[in-house]
Chains A and B, each alone.
Chain A
Amino acid sequence: MSVTRAEVCIAACADAWRGDGELLASPFGVIPSIGARLARATFAPDLMLSDGEAMLVTGDRAVEGWVPFRSVFDLAWAGRRHAMMMPSQLDRFGNMNISAIGADFAKPDRALIGMRGAPGNTACHPVSYWVPRHQARVFVPKVDVVSGIGYDKTPGPYGLCRVVTNLAVLDFGGPYHAMRLVSVHPGVAVAEVVANTGFDLVIAGEIPQTRSPDSDELRLIREVLDPRETRHREVPLG
C-alpha cells in the first residue's frame, strides 16, 4: 500500500515535537496522538506522554508517572509541555479560537467548548496546531475570540511551532511572524492551499513537498501505533 495522506500528516505532526527533549507532549485529535507516539518511538525518546487520563506512560504503555490535571497545569505554566491543539479559527498571526463563533460574545452564533487552557498554554509553553480540514472558515482574517494568543499580541506567545493540516505544513516564519507555507503534502497543489485559506499566506520561492514517513515509521504506524486505522477516519483515504 502506498503512503496515505493521513500517514503523511502523522509524520508531519510527529516532527512538531522533534528536539523537544523532556517535555509533556499533549496532542489533541487522532493524528496528533499517533504522531506524538511515533515521535517518542523514534527520534524523540525523551518525550513524556499521557494516557489521556492521569498517568504518564512509556511507549509500551507502562505507567511511569502520575499527572492529574493539577500537575498538567503545573507542567504547562512551567513551560514543560508542547501541546498540539485543534483550533476552530486561526488567523495570520496565530491567534486561535476554541471559545465561540460570532461577533457578540454575550450571544454567540455558536458556542464552542470555551477557552480551556489556551490562554495559559500559548503564554507559557510551545504550542502547535492541527487542522484536519484545511478550509477558509478555519483560516480566517480575524478570529472572533482570541483563546490562544498570536504574535500581534503583547505579551506574545511563548512560541507557536507549526500548523499541520490535511493539505500542508505551515509555520510563523514570515515577516512579523506571519503564517508561512512550509510544504504541501504529496498530491496537493499550492493553489489548493491558497484557495482554502482566508488570508494571504507568506509563500517564498518553490514550496517543497512534505516528507513521507520512512519505512520504519510506516511499519510502526501500521502495525504498532494504529493497526485499526483510526487515522483514516480523521483524514480519509483518497
Chain B
Amino acid sequence: MTADEVVAELRSGMTIGIGGWGSRRKPMSLVRAILRSPLSDLTIVSYGGPDVGLLLAAGKVKRLVYGFVSLDSIPLEPHFQAARQAGAVEATEWDEGMLQWALYAASLRLPFLPTRAGLGSDVTRLDPDLRTVRSPYPDGEELLAVPALPLDAALIHLNRADAAGNAQFLGPDLYFDDLFAAAAARAYVSCERLVGTADLAAAGVASLRITRWMTAGVIESQNGAHFTSCAPDYDRDEAFQREYVAAAKDPARWKEFTERYLSGTEADYQRAVRAR
C-alpha cells in the first residue's frame, strides 16, 4: 500500500486515533497524506503533537480528544493554540490517563473503565457526558467511568514491520500505539523499514508489540515520522521544528511553508527537507 491508498480508505467524519506522543514517533507521512486528501470533519484522538497542529491548520478536524498537545522541546503547539483560541475546534480535554483507559476499554469491548483521575477537576465540568460509577464492593467508592472510545481507524508509525502487518518499536517507548491499534476497526502502520518476518525477532521479541490481527495495512515510509523523533532511527529534527513553529505564528510565512513543504507528494516533502 501507499500512504495515499491508506487515506483513500478513510472517510470524512471518522474518529481517527494517531499514535506516538507529543513530537515523538508520529505517523507524519500518513498525516501529510490526509492533508492532501479531501477528508474533513474528523474526530482526532491523540497524545497530541504536530500531527494535531497540521490537521487543525488544514481545517480537517471537527473535534479533538486529547490530554495535551505539545512539541516537547517547544511546550506549546502554535496551530493548536490558534485553533483553540479561535474556538475553531470542539475540545474534549481529558486527563492523559483517561485517554489510555478509553482506548483500553474499547480494545477489550468494555463499556467503560473506572478511575479516580478526573474526579473533582474541570474534566467532568467541561465534558458533561462523563458519568461516575459506585464500587459494588464494601468500599463503595465513587469513581469516574471513562467511556470506551472505539476508533474507526488508527494510524501509527513503528521502526520495523513485515508485509503481514506485524510491527515493532526499537526505541525506548511504545507509547500507546498498541492500544490505538487494538481500539480501532482498522489500524494502519507506517514503518521506517519493511523487513522479512524472519528478521523481526532478532531485535528482541519484547519489542514485537503490534501483531497482524491488529492491523489492516502497512506501508514503508522512510523518515516517515519526520520532523518528530523516531529513536533509534533518528532524533527529532529540532531545526525543522523551530522553522515550523516560526512559520505557524505568521500567516504569510505559513503560506510559504505549506507551498515549500506541503504542496506536493511525500517524496517532494522529503526532497524539500533534504534541500534545506
User: Which residue numbers of A lie inside 8 Å of B, CB to CB?
Assistant: 53-55, 66, 68-70, 73, 76-77, 99-100, 104-120, 122-124, 145-149, 153-157
Do the beta carbons of B85 and A54 come within 8 Å of each other?
no
Do the beta carbons of B21 and A69 come within 8 Å of each other?
yes
A113 in contact with B172 given A77-B97, A120-B97 (CB within 8 Å): no
Chain B residues with CB under 8 A of A154: 120
Do the beta carbons of A123 and B175 come within 8 Å of each other?
no
Do the beta carbons of B119 and A123 come within 8 Å of each other?
yes
Chain A residues with CB under 8 A of B256: none
Do the beta carbons of A120 and B116 come within 8 Å of each other?
yes
Do the beta carbons of B76 and A119 come within 8 Å of each other?
no
Do the beta carbons of A68 and B174 come within 8 Å of each other?
yes
Do the beta carbons of B117 and A123 come within 8 Å of each other?
yes
Q: Which interface residue of A104, A111, A147 has the most chain B CB atoms within 10 A?
A: A111
Instruction: Report how far A70 CA is from B121 CA in the complex, Å.
Output: 22
Other than the known A53-B172, A123-B117, what 12 A-B pairs have Cβ atoms closer than 8 Å? A66-B172, A68-B174, A110-B81, A111-B80, A113-B69, A117-B95, A119-B95, A119-B118, A119-B123, A122-B121, A124-B116, A124-B117
Chain A residues with CB under 8 A of B66: 114
Number of contacting residues on B, CB 8 A? Answer: 40
Do the beta carbons of A76 and B97 come within 8 Å of each other?
yes
Instruction: Report how far A153 CA is from B121 CA in the complex, Å.
Output: 8
Interface stretch (choices B35-43, B86-94, B149-157, B185-193): B86-94
In this assembly, does B269 line the interface, its C-beta being within 8 Å of a C-beta of chain A? no
Do the beta carbons of A115 and B123 come within 8 Å of each other?
yes
Chain B residues with CB under 8 A of A116: 67-68, 95-96
A77 in contact with B81 given A105-B91, A113-B70 (CB within 8 Å): no
Chain A residues with CB under 8 A of B175: 68-69
Residues 61 to 85 of chain B near chain A (Cβ within 8 Å):
66-70, 75-76, 80-81, 84-85
A123 in contact with B126 given A110-B85, A112-B76 (CB within 8 Å): no
Give the 7 A-B residue pairs with the shortest CB-CB distance, closest first: A120-B117, A107-B87, A114-B68, A111-B84, A153-B120, A54-B172, A119-B121
Q: Can you identify 12 A-B contacts, CB atoms within 8 angstroms?
A: A53-B172, A53-B173, A99-B93, A104-B87, A107-B87, A111-B80, A114-B66, A120-B95, A123-B117, A124-B116, A153-B121, A154-B120
Do the beta carbons of B95 and A118 come within 8 Å of each other?
yes
Instruction: Report how far A221 CA is from B118 CA in the complex, Å.
Output: 37
The residue that B121 contacts in the complex, of A69, A108, A112, A146, with Cβ under 8 A, is A146
